[in-house]
Chain A
């Protein structure tokens, strides 16, 4: 199929960006979206133009590197997938596709479609861990039985890939879904309960410091999340935060 691409080009963080139009022909429906951008880049390259920069790595939906706002949606039109898992069979011959970086104050553009998501890392530094040493001198793994439902819920929360689609989808650029996923994972497990109060206070403080917005329960994050992280996690984080704050 033949497509028109309208792609955000920006030389670096300081330069102003703009949408540039490209034509691309003979795209196979079996291609992944990133295969298609590879194809475009090969063509730009052969013409001596600067290829489009974009983040990507595993190309199987788990590393969280790829981002892209495609026709206004993080990770594009399909559900439950990342951009690298999006296939061109989701588009029609003759379509025009807008491709932009994830937009948020806390995610400054580095180049073209590449943004800086290190704010996510800094939130994790503030409390996204259980404070035990890695010496291996812990209790036997089966010494603490864990209710399967809680373990499964903790797992579901832990499958967050840190891609930032929740922030890009949110009109407030809130990172609540991302932060609550980690808070929930640990709050649901006996190992993590011990420092649950400090954790939620520290992580939320860092989240605010990074310039992410607040949650107004729109739910766009849950819909766009490639891993189906549930809004319930935000509710759980709010409960954790409230009880931690009251305890002082």
Chain B
């Protein structure tokens, strides 16, 4: 059994990272040429890590299941990336970014990691600008900022609604430079299906070539997992269709502890579900809450009339609208953190105030901003600011400039023009804060196996603030892992190439092959999607936005039964030794069916509410999350023991030396 040593360096919070870097072992450039590193996943974390490691001189083998590294799901991040630059002079600092992140995470993250994140954040912006990432600028030529939920400063850098795309293409371009030089060997359309551990150390992976179906062995001196989160365990989420937990789950089964699986982010502003046929949900960036106001009708009758199509929301008088976030949280208003905003939307809809056919939608309204910006523009251009039509037109132009692509996306999906009628939104599963447990060096409990980006658990506690995922992914990949991995590899300079003929490779390969054989020969009666949808429904109904012990216990039993049914009755058509998308899905869903159960088990054991984990039994009088710091201020790291139900809990106590634990308040 591995011990849970977080390896937090000595010294004051602000000095830890510098001290650590000063003491870290280095690998000289000539030796780096003899060391191989596997990186699985090419999103912001994996892509930036692969590029930087190759640049340092290591031989990198990078893997992605997509047809190009540029398509990793980081590409879809919309709103922005945080950095404590204080360009706006509004009082930002490393400490404040650190503080906001720990508070936003409801005091369930590791102080030292979060501070380091804040510390390197400013560097990310410098780096990306040097790479040619076209961030939004002001007319003076300097970078523009906006504000995100849970903070009182403007520290978010952005590129319209495509910040993730631009940052990922930046990392991709850095990768391309190294691929061209032969320092990265890129394996597109490959899926990692197992980790190979030799003498307790991660020494390679088994991967399936998704074009030929071939099972391949790849060796290295260290393995880095940057394969993203597991939100697709809910079937419907804002993640890409291919986003999966398989790489992370396989290393878990090989000894890496899985931390806080129940910490999931339900994002408040997504396009509501339209019907049974739907395959995924679409996010509307949180940045919209800068200018949009969220409301539902004040009266149940009005809500009913709107649902029935008898009343147009624009006709409803101001006094009959309930801007419930502004009402409940006057100081943060529409910019409360995501978990708070999501629960508030659910509360209103559960009470009968929902505004679409299914009753599961609230309004996000830009009318006030049209007027505010329109008047500003009228004054700048010396036009009549009392001309309401003109003001509205000018205001709409400003909004289009800021969020044009999001408005277009909305219109294409919903078939309504959001410039004319308020958007309808509802919470949806978006991100997973939980993930593979890592120490300060980002190493998992398997020696030589690292986890970075969303795949690890480290920085966001029980709730992630907006624009912090991009920050963390790039911080891990560009600035943290490249240092810390050297400390480990310094002991490996005399090892020489790792042979793929070792018995451990053969054993792992056989395991993969037998699972594929089983699935292909099963010839059951139900499709993979049938099981995935069933799992998603259990997760959403019983392990979703509001949880209680009774439903969690039911979920655990139901998921275990569903998993059994899956292996008995799933049908995977086609030849496994060829391009076979059904088989790809089946292998992923098999892992979700295990992960889902551990997820529910973790949620059941955590008898408190914190951040995105909301247990109905633990709430304050006015319905806010009620933490239990005395008993639950720890990271729950689960050790795999053959079945999710038998997983063993290990606790990493969280010590707050620089922040006082208080009840999170955004009122």
Contacts and interface: CB of A to CB of B under 8 A. Distances in A.
A171 interface: no
A148 B132 contact: no
Interface residues of A, number: 77
A20 B483 CA distance: 55
Contacts of B132: 130, 154, 185-186, 189, 191-192
B241 A159 contact: no
Contacts of A53: 579, 581
Interface in A122-144: 124-126, 128-136, 138-142, 144
B23 interface: no
Contact of A136 (B120, B137, B143): B120
The winner among A60, A85, A139 for most chain B CB atoms within 10 A is A60
29 contacts: A32-B279, A34-B279, A51-B573, A51-B581, A57-B242, A60-B409, A63-B71, A63-B75, A64-B71, A64-B75, A87-B412, A87-B415, A89-B415, A110-B211, A111-B579, A114-B579, A118-B188, A121-B70, A129-B173, A134-B52, A134-B127, A136-B120, A136-B126, A138-B126, A148-B141, A155-B159, A155-B166, A159-B162, A186-B132
Interface pairs A-B: 3 shortest CB-CB: A145-B141, A129-B173, A155-B134
B176 interface: yes
B290 interface: no
Contacts of A114: 579
B154 interface: no
Interface stretch (A1-9, A39-47, A96-104, A231-239): A39-47
Contact of B173 (A38, A50, A128, A155): A128
Nearest to A206: B180
A145 B240 contact: no
A195 to B, nearest CB: 11
A129 B543 CA distance: 44
A58 interface: yes
A212 interface: no
A174 interface: no
Contacts of A62: 75-76, 162, 165
A158 interface: yes
B547 interface: no
B573 A50 contact: yes
A148 B553 CA distance: 56
B385 interface: no
Given A57-B73, A87-B413, A148-B141, A191 B279 contact: no
B157 to A, nearest CB: 8
Contact of A45 (B129, B283, B571): B571
Interface string B131-175: 110111111111100000000000000011010011001001110
B169 to A, nearest CB: 7
Contact of A145 (B142, B169, B176, B571): B142
Residues of B in contact with A, size category: 35 or more
Nearest to B479: A136
A73 B507 CA distance: 49
A48 B571 CA distance: 9
Interface of A: 12, 28, 30-32, 34-35, 38-39, 42, 45-46, 48-51, 53, 55-65, 78, 80-81, 85, 87, 89, 110-111, 114, 116-118, 120-121, 124-126, 128-136, 138-142, 144-148, 151-152, 154-155, 158-159, 161-162, 185-186, 189, 191-192
A117 B68 contact: yes
B369 interface: no
Given A58-B75, A58-B241, A62-B162, 20 more contacts: A30-B415, A31-B275, A31-B277, A35-B277, A45-B527, A46-B527, A51-B574, A58-B76, A81-B412, A111-B578, A125-B176, A126-B180, A129-B174, A129-B177, A135-B55, A141-B126, A151-B134, A152-B137, A158-B134, A191-B129
B85 interface: yes
Given A124-B176, A186-B132, A191-B132, A117 B67 contact: yes
A100 to B, nearest CB: 17
B280 A59 contact: yes
Nearest to B140: A145
B87 interface: yes
B529 interface: yes
Interface in B377-417: 408-409, 412-413, 415
Contacts of B478: 134, 136
Interface string B179-200: 1100000101000000000000
Contacts of A32: 279, 413
B51 interface: yes
B484 interface: no
A137 to B, nearest CB: 8
Contacts of A151: 134-137, 141
A55 B142 CA distance: 39
B240 A63 contact: yes
A23 B409 CA distance: 30
A142 B240 contact: no
Contacts of B242: 57
B130 interface: yes
Nearest to A11: B578
Contacts of B75: 58, 62-64, 161
